[in-house]
Structure 1
């Protein structure tokens, strides 16, 4: 009876995000470059989960629209990645309660714990020291509007992230990447618009928060976007250890290939973006293709 009462209280105190646990990411494929989700051997292949009892595909739907996509590990109780499109920056950060995903739980009247398959607020309350906090994968600071920013406040979009790391080098990198994408990434079909495809994820570690929620060993992120100067789709990646830091340490730019190699050592095989986005986005030194450049300019000047 105590478990049932606790479960009811948790449900009443935890707002729901109206998302969808789906069989295939084809439901929200627009969140991915070329509508192709990552390939992670034994985890996610051909847009479908390879172990539906563990890896859940979530199309994060909020206020009637799909906002982003998440691959969620119910065993670790953390997302492995969230995928979203960066198109603008919301200037008004939301202040709303953290939400949970109701479809990850079986709320059929049985005495089950609503936090059985996902993290809950209580997992973060029981710390003696606030060493770990809810770290966004899709950060609200990368959302294009206030509604989308609100949708990022679900525990299925967060992992236990070291507090100093989250507020230090990781936040600095997020802000730097946001400015870079605002300045350099454009919609291939409309150069006045910003567009970048972003994947941000976590590598499961060997420790648990509250003996329940996996604490990632590393955090990673990579974006792919059209470079109007070279007329190629290009990418840039970052990753770092999820650990305490006395002072923020700059997180260096890396290539997509090096990130995939790093993740390949953690998983059997990982392919994050199409090979069409394998070129490193470097604004310091670029060599535009004269023929493509003339075609691009001709299209938008005369078309």
Structure 2
């Protein structure tokens, strides 16, 4: 506790905004953000809710204003999240005006503060980089209130995205998915309430921002699982796309895919098994996959 207070104090002195979230040993602490309270299984990275390489992959229960808002698996080597997980229960309008925050618990800082952000990105990583923006994994446009929207502005929830990709096809897809979840996704125990379990992640590449610290993902991916009370089924839908310059393809769209297809894609590019939702987003062996387009 004393170390954390020291870290926070030093970050304040240096002008680093921070989020008071928690780096945890198990996602059981904030399991409510995962379908059936079960985080993804990523072979040799995340199994049984626990990091398999705690020196590199950190589990963060993103806490803001004394409440958990979402969860993140963070890669301290590439300084980008593997994924963020959240429950979609509706959205509010407007983008918060708030400084980008960092997570003090990721750092073992000394009194000289020679390297304030060894294990994570900070805003300075982006300052000299053209054409890239800080792309949310849990988008603030999917937050149900202003406090939750502000909580998404932590750099442990962002990756470098090409600006016209983030504001182009990826943004359009996020809005379409949001509209679909508003219309079709319900809390099984309370059909009048909206609820979907969402995972959004990135695939690291061999490229970094100019200062050689922060990985530029080759792809972005997202998938949701929810209960459709109109036909009493659990449904899922996935999207992924290359993180590329879209200046010459401004009409690009991102097609809807199945959960199974996304797991196969991630298993191939990571060369390790992925299982994103317990029982493939179903309470039984039968599942239905739906498409928006």
- Give the TM-score of the pair, scaled to structure 1: 0.88
**Residue in 1 that maps onto 2:17:** 15
Q: Which residue of 2 aligns with 1:227?
A: 228
2:290 to 245, 270, 281: 281
Residues 11 and 17 in structure 2, CA contact (< 8 A), matched pair in contact too: no
Q: Does 1:263 align with 2:266?
A: yes
- Displacement after TM superposition at 1:12 (Å): 2.6
User: In the alignment, what sits opposite 1:203?
Assistant: 203
Match of 1:24 in 2: 26
Task: Give the aligned partner of residue 117 of structure 1.
Answer: 119
The SS at the match of 2:167 is helix
Corresponding position of 1:239: 240
Which protein has the larger Cα radius of gyration, Structure 1 or Structure 2? 1
2:3 maps to which residue?
none
**Distance in 2 of aligned mates of 1:26 and 1:114:** 29
Unaligned runs of 5+ in 2: 1-9, 282-286
SS at match of 1:76: coil
Match of 1:272 in 2: 276
Structure 1 outlier segments of 4+, above 4 Å: 8-11
Q: Matched residues in 2 for 1:108 and 1:176: separation?
A: 46
Whether 1:251 aligns to 2:251 is no
Contact 1:135–1:161 under 8 Å retained in 2: yes
Q: Distance in 1 between matches of 2:13 and 2:156?
A: 15
Q: Distance in 1 between matches of 2:265 and 2:137?
A: 18
Q: 3-state SS of the aligned residue for 2:168? A: helix
CA contact (8 A) 2:256 2:291 kept: no
Greater displacement, 275-284 / 224-233: 275-284
TM-score (norm 2): 0.91
State the shift of 1:157 in Å: 0.2
**Equivalence map 1:82-97=2 (5 Å):** 82-97=84-99
Distance in structure 1 (CA, Å) of the matches to 2:203 and 2:17: 27
Q: Shift of the alpha carbon at 1:9?
A: 7.5
Q: Distance in 1 between matches of 2:177 and 2:291?
A: 13
Gaps of 5+ in 1: 1-7, 285-303
What is the aligned partner in structure 2 of residue 288 from structure 1?
Answer: none
Aligned mates of 1:225, 1:164 — CA distance in 2: 30
